[in-house]
Structure 1
Amino acid sequence: MSVAGYEDLLNGPVKKYLELSQKIGGDVAAHSKLVEKALQIQLQFVQKAANRSAPANQSEQVSLLAPMSAQIQQIQEFRERNRGSPFFNHLSAISESIPALGWVAVSPTPAPYIKEMNDAGQFYTNRVLKDWKEKDKIHIDWCKAWVQTLTDLQQYVRQHHTTGLVWGKTGIAPVGIPPPPPPSMPIEDVSLVINDDRSALFAQINQGEDITKKLKKVTSEMQTHKNPALRAGPAPFKAPAVTSIKSVLPANAPIDKPSVFTRDGKKWLVEYHKGENLVIDNVEMNNVIYMFRCQDSTLTIKGKVNSIVMDSCRKSSVVFDSLVSSIEFVNCQSVQMQVLGKVPTISIDKTDGCQMYLNAESLNVEFITSKSSEMNVMVPKANGDYSEYPIPEQFKTTINQNGLNTTAIDSLG
């Protein structure tokens, strides 16, 4: 089923993307041939996984991943060799998002990784849409086809490889090898890699209006999109050797990198902060906030944004007005959030300790949790106090004539 599902993907949006690339021609057509080869390599990898057991060790897995890693590198190097191309934004859209194929080495949640790479590529597809919407509709269709390709890939992985690549004879996913990191994004004032080989401020979250005191503010002089003097061209991507792949660091690992607080297009990057209060107040609804490996820090977001991701943070808090889609906690320890407006979805994965303060507008929120503990929801009461409810961590499963029946076990203490 997993092989057939991947073949359906190739015969659907991938085929459309390839056809449109050939119609556009030039560098786009040549680039698409490299992408097609990468997808075929991945199909062969999925077929192989369906008929064998998982690699016995890291060395064997690295060897299996080598052809795919090399092909991804070729795709990205093609962009770097053709920086003067009239289709540079097309090439960049593919190069920034093609690391999504590294989902085969991600566990236990490969689907969100694909979405992150898809979002990274849309920074450039939006540029293509802007440049070509009045000139040639085929470029608009091309963007839609590629975005749909990665969207369908995410759905395929969510259906067939929910917690990581499934190996035919063992049914388990390899652990400890992250996918090839994405290329450096063209951030004007600093070169970053979002998926780098990468949290007691809880009293502060209940301060009310006082929480905004002593906050750092991003001024217009600090914003690269308003200050051309701060801009610098993107650094060429250099793919690391396969043998240099490192394990993903846990949330309690020491922070030994310089802090990052910047904006790249629709993305705000808040990384490696320790013991700080930060604020973002000039946001737009399509903005995405990514908070990575912060400790003992509080981030306040004023205005409505699309989504927030708190990744590998420890003893940290986030306060925000409203979200269009969701807030995600991944690999965190002892974190808190407070919504002042509305939030549709809260996703918690591999997180120990998550305190969520809701607002009256957000009582219809949906919680999606996996491999997490100590999750508590604070629901506002009419008198202004909160009622605390724990999200179940234990479940009881019984067998009946229709299969399995699973119910949550309420906490008794």
Structure 2
Amino acid sequence: MKKDGLVCLKSVYNCNEVEGTAAAQGSASDLETLIERLERVTSRLERLPLLRAHTPAAPHSPAPSPVSLNTPPPQESLEPIPSDNMSVNGYQDLVQGPLRAYLQLSQQIGGDVATQANLVNAAFQAQSRYIQLAATKAKPSQAEEMQLLTPTSEQISAIQQYREKNRASQFFNHLSAISESIPALGWVAVAPAPAPYVKEMNDAGQFYTNRVLKDWKEKDKTHVEWCRAWVQLLSDLQAYVKQFHTTGLVWSGKGSAGAPPPPPPGGLPPPPPVLPDVDFSNLSLDDRSALFAEINRGEAITSSLRKVTPDMQTHKNPTLRQGPAPFKATSAAGHKPLPQPGAGQLDKPPVFTRDGKKWLIEYQKGNSNLVVENADMNNVVYMFRCRDSALTVRGKVNGVVLDSCTKCAVVFDNLVSSIEFVNCQSVQMQVLGKVPTVSIDKTDGCQIYLSPESLDVEIVSSKSSEMNVLIPKANGDYTEHAIPEQFKTVLNKPAGLTTTPVENKG
């Protein structure tokens, strides 16, 4: 880049020389002014990202989509944008410092690491534009806010997909470290404590950065510096969020998120009742002294007790031994039936809320439009005592649990851990993406619709019946397979017991 800057300087100087001998024979002050201008041009050229100098020119082709995985997006400028907003300037410092160091080390490593770094740069630039918008605009509606967050979410998705499509890469641990921790950029949608969320995502990626350190610390120190640069970038992002957006992204303008909420329509609550006046003048400290004096009397304290006469003693008066008749349960009481899964009156109001990392969906009845969206990867969706309802979970969450539900269905995209059915009746599930594990416990009637990406799923069942797995075929239909409910166990002397499922041929 310095060489290019010198070439530009030389061309400018020759151009001035050709214009005429009068400029060359000017005063010394004009020459000094010209030199200062050339030095400023050189400084600005040297401040351009070094990545652009190392990136080979792409052949002439149509412009790729923003989330294309085959060709990295064009490198966006890292130059700061002048602003009088402290939040914007703080994020620009983050881009100029830690992000630039990470990008430079990624280009030194090259290969898939450099390609993914371009996607990371695009994600940070998209968030920078979003923060600049928040500094000049009031908080938008939820629909408009999701639309404004689309560029950032697309880049995060592209980073994660790039890792999935390059599992055979020698830098797979590098790609995984970024893929697992890049959701930290989702802090703009987290409230009221976004800074701990950034730290949690940073910790999630350190499992793979430790692998990189283990594999490369003796081979190439550049990879060690690369790990430190990425962890430092997210640590600085956490400090930035804690300083400028402690309780969530701050929007500017009238009606922003920082404005106090309006008073309730019913007005202020009435003041608490006034305590009645109590006269404490009659109390005396001597009362306490009298109590201790009574206790210190010793054996004389029992002198006022009544003596037990012989007619009061049970061993001398048998009639005193007869007590009340023991309790006998009436035959009409009978035994209460055991509760059935999903049974019970739905006398409680329906619930659909988010409590920290858990989505609570309870006592829903006949509601087929339950939708969970904008969830984080570490969230859990818990559905309890619902009837005749359908739930849709969009995005990637940690897990889904259906507890004591009857005639309910759930459709979801991707899960990190598992989906669980407990004490349910007549339930269905359909996965559109990836699910590692399906757990079924004390459930009667469970239909499992799999996707092509989930054919390696593990299904664990216990005390359940009427379980079927439907596997997709090429023509769009499903092949149904029943999960065994009956087993045969025989004694195998060398190995103990051998258990095999019994196929129902009836």
- TM-score normalised per structure 2: 0.37
Which of the pair has the greater relative contact order for Cα pairs under 8 Å at 6+ separation? Answer: 1
Greater Cα radius of gyration, structure 1 or 2: 2
Task: Give the number of the structure whose residues are more often strand, by fraction.
Answer: 1
The TM-score, its normalising length taken from structure 1, stands at 0.45
